[in-house]
Chains A and B, each alone.
Chain A
Amino acid sequence: MNSLRTKPEIRNELKFQLGNIFVKEFPNGLKILYLQKDKLPLVRLNFFIESGSKFDSLSFPGLARLTAAMIDEGAGGLTSLELSDGFDLLGTDFKISTDNDFIVFSLQSLAENIGRSLELLSLVILKPDFPLAEFEREKKKLLVNILQLKDDPERIADQIFDKIIYQNHYYSLPVSGYSDSVEKITLQDIKNFYTNSFKADRSFLAAAGNITPEEFYQLIEKYFQNFVPSASKVILPDKLNPSDKKVFVYNKPESVQTEIRAGYVSGKRNMKDFFAKHLLNTIFGGQFNSRLNSNLRERNGYTYGVSSQFAYLKDSGYFLISTSVNTENTFPAIKEILNELYKLNDGVTTDELTFAKTSLTRKFPLNFETYRQLTSNLSALAIQNLPVDYFNSYLKNLNAVSIDEVNSEAERLSQADIKIILVGNKDLFADEFLKNGYELVEVDEKGNEK
């Protein structure tokens, strides 16, 4: 072989150190995590308010989401369109999203316009007007969005998965709500939800930009000092009664692929097992060369791609395998997924673990390149209540994980009570499941047994 054509070696491992993360808490309880980054004249921030759908889900599914849709429909005397034009004229990118835990305001502004951008943001958060005319429109928009769920196999599969693994828990219901629950929401419900949940002590900011932390703190103080803390703490009931069934099907006869979700509630994020789980998942389904993708895609051609993850909400976490396969390979794909899970009982190899550690270690600096990456990393610190030196001790913690620790996680995953959700043309694959001894439980799009 031509010597040129052998793999080059990598010499001199690079050292990576993240810049200082500044932390501040104001008297009203509002917290800030800030990182100064000078590369471009930009400031990016995520403003989190812990008022996500978990607070509405068991009473009024969809209320948090609709509140978020209404929050910028007029504020501080500016109309919906005036507010929107205000951000656009500054060239500021402004978005609002809702998840199970939070309503999140994301803003990316030129540094020269950050003051004016924050002023507009403060109107939206502190002085929403909730006009009735806009309410009817936003409610209808959400209802139509829920109607469109029926078109989208991925959304159906995700929604059923949450319901099946979380059952009656507050994480079981969709952020969008259901059409019957959203129909009943009144403007007064939204005002009440806002008044009860938009509180300074339930909020934090994660930001990165090319201004100093002091300049940033001053702006936040100027615009958010009147943000009030809550009078009392809300405690949500935290119980889980898993179903004893295993395979759930939503029949979508016109489908040409089957959307597959498989997983279980694997627990909250914690420092003890996080790194072992992360390494395990890297080997099992977290990247292109994982066991799952090598099997289902590169060996068998059943799918364009398959992946797995340990996903973390604020108060819980789950393990999820996710893929879509052509209909005739539905059963073969499930068989291979279960087979890969079963094989985890034998643990992982030293080579696999070394590959996972090396790859994650060397890739680490790539996670801190953009303003978006920086703010989302700072957000994770606050959401999961991680120590401020978390990123600078990350590699030490990752590399300290032993193969035994990974293998005990592997064994746990292998023996977990994995639920399987299939969204597709049931008639074309049901027999194969039945023949092989599986019971198929048919569910509707809410995940309820039919």
Chain B
Amino acid sequence: MSLFNLTYTKTILENGLEVILHRDDSLPLVAVNIWYKVGSANERKGKTGLAHLFEHMMFQGSENVPKEMHFKYIQEAGGILNGSTSFDRTNYYEKLPSNAIEIPLWLESDRMGFLLNALDEEKLENQKSVVINERLERYDNQPYGLAWEIIVKNLFPENHPYSWPTIGFKEDIESFTLEDVRSFFKSFYSPSNATLVVAGDIDQSETLALVRKYFNEIPSYETPAPPASVDFQLSENIFIEHRDNVQLPRLYLAFPTVKSYQPKDAEFEILSDILSGSKNSRLNKRLVFDEQIAQDVSAFQFSGKYGGMFMIVSTAKPGIKISELKEKIFEELSSVSSNGITETELTKTRNGIKSNFIASMQNLDNIADHLNHYNFYLNEPNSFEWDINRYMSVQTENVKDVCYELLNKKYLELNITPKEN
């Protein structure tokens, strides 16, 4: 399908900045999207959350952009903007009317090349307190909000780059100094450690000239080697109980699996959809629909550059024990593992994936981010078609096989249970 075959050009500037341009003139818009190849996986213990805090500092102005003006200039130009940090990478993005293309290029280049002299204690203390509030709002004050942190901390081996949460631990966030922030910038924010995507209603050669104009003068420097991560399995099951301010117990099962785009990654994803992706999926039908012992159930394959895990999460109805949920979940896994799945089940999943791929082509900013995503993980921005085929080539037998594999793995079990009053 030509819908998924995107044309692009890739250029590497002298300072190492990778530039990917894609033309789509269906609307007079332009999307600018930068990935820096640094995420929380590049942090070390005691300084967790630094990559994310740093993302906040990138919005605090640079040498030629006063505090609060970064947002203001983009908004004044009619754009939207944000950034995000994950285990693997940090991204920054803007989408604007195409005649404003120079504004985001200028702003991105100013903070890539001229950030350090604009940093000060006041900005840092302000953003530390914003980030601590972000942590409180999104994790500490949310029901079941600490589950992810407990799981990654205990499932991944000590010092594995995924063994702490991207938001960071509170005491680490509180401890950051201006020196930490400076040295983080000098380690990871080199142009040679970044990829810039410009997509939309653009003239490719003019755009490349603009990119050169703003980014060429930024010097590059050496960046540290990526963290080491070995594939691992658990040698025994891990059981954790955590008491929280919740009404109902919730079960989490986490199995170590494979990294992004490795063999079986797509199979595990398809398995998760077969288990919980629809009303008639295996676990939903059994636990929520027929037996009504669970309020909800979901399964997913999480994978990144340095590791992966398969998770099943289910909340018990009042009066139902977690052990009962767990027993039924394993019965359903056994059934898939020994009897396999039907062609109809697989067709449902495939059609859902196909529709989602088509729907994901609606937003220019989403397309720009995907070009960066594929470039980062596969070294080929135009991998949409390849990626769909990765899912479409999975057969019922493959799903059965990965389910069998799952059942024979040691896993982590987390129970979040109501505090006794």
Binding site for B on A (CB under 8 A): 1-2, 4-8, 10-14, 16, 39-42, 80-81, 84-85, 88-93, 108, 110, 137, 140-141, 144-145, 147-148, 150-153, 254-257, 287-289, 294, 297-304, 324-326, 355, 358-359, 361-366, 368-372
Contact = CB atoms under 8 A, between A and B. Distances in A.
Contacts of B95: 366
B355 A110 contact: yes
Nearest to B130: A301
Contacts of B279: 80-81, 84
- Residue from A88, A152, A355, A358 having most chain B Cβ neighbours under 10 A: A88
B137 A304 contact: yes
A106 to B, nearest CB: 13
Given A256-B140, A302-B133, A5 B110 contact: yes
B130 A294 contact: no
B397 interface: no
Interface stretch (B14-22, B148-156, B172-180, B242-250): B242-250
B45 interface: no
Given A91-B355, A152-B143, A304 B26 contact: no
Contacts of B237: none
Interface string B200-217: 000000000000011001
Interface string B240-280: 00000111100000000000000000000000000000111
Contacts of B75: 287-289, 355, 359, 363
Contact of A370 (B106, B246, B363): B363
B405 interface: no
Nearest to A301: B129
Contact of B3 (A40, A85, A152, A359): A40
Nearest to A259: B141
B137 A366 contact: no
Contacts of B131: 304
B359 to A, nearest CB: 7
- Residue from B98, B130, B131 having most chain A Cβ neighbours under 10 A: B130
Contacts, number: 199
B64 A1 contact: yes
Contacts of B76: 355, 358-359, 362
A148 B361 contact: no
B119 interface: no
A370 B130 CA distance: 32
- Residue from A7, A361, A365 having most chain B Cβ neighbours under 10 A: A7
15 contacts: A7-B106, A39-B362, A40-B3, A40-B358, A110-B355, A148-B248, A150-B247, A254-B245, A288-B71, A289-B75, A300-B126, A324-B137, A361-B78, A362-B77, A363-B78
B232 interface: no
A368 B77 CA distance: 17
Contact of A147 (B99, B217, B247): B247
Contact of A8 (B102, B125, B217, B348): B102
Contacts of A287: 75
Nearest to B358: A40
A372 B359 CA distance: 10
A369 B77 contact: no
Contacts of B364: 369
Contacts of A14: 28, 97-99
A35 to B, nearest CB: 14
B12 interface: no
A362 B97 contact: yes
B247 A148 contact: yes
Nearest to A355: B76
A304 B72 contact: no
Given A85-B348, A289-B68, A298-B126, A7 B103 contact: yes
Contacts of B344: 85, 89
B317 interface: yes
A147 B418 CA distance: 13
Contacts of A153: 141
Contacts of B137: 257, 303-304, 324
Given A42-B362, A256-B140, A326-B132, 5 more contacts: A5-B106, A144-B318, A257-B141, A289-B68, A298-B67
A366 B126 contact: no
Contacts of B354: 91
**B interface SS class:** helix
A355 B69 CA distance: 12
A151 B245 contact: yes
Contacts of B67: 298
Contacts of A41: 3, 358
Nearest to A303: B133
Interface in B310-329: 317-318
A222 to B, nearest CB: 23
A302 B278 CA distance: 41
A40 B26 CA distance: 11
A29 to B, nearest CB: 32
B100 interface: yes
Given A151-B245, A289-B72, A88 B133 contact: no
Contact of B295 (A11, A144, A150): A144
Contacts of A372: 362
B385 interface: no
Contacts of B355: 91-93, 108, 110
A88 B353 CA distance: 10
Interface string B39-78: 0000000000000000000000001100110011101111
Nearest to B354: A91
Contacts of B317: 140, 144
B123 to A, nearest CB: 9
A73 B73 CA distance: 50
A298 B72 CA distance: 13
Contacts of B359: 40, 42, 93, 108, 371
A41 B361 CA distance: 11
A142 B253 CA distance: 26
A42 B358 CA distance: 8
A13 B29 CA distance: 13
A297 B130 contact: yes
Contact of A10 (B27, B64, B72, B99): B99
A301 B127 contact: yes
A122 to B, nearest CB: 19
B393 interface: no
- Residue from A2, A140, A255, A288 having most chain B Cβ neighbours under 10 A: A288
A363 B79 contact: yes
A12 B354 CA distance: 40
B321 to A, nearest CB: 16
Contacts of A108: 355, 359
Contacts of A2: 217
Contacts of A369: 27, 29, 362-364
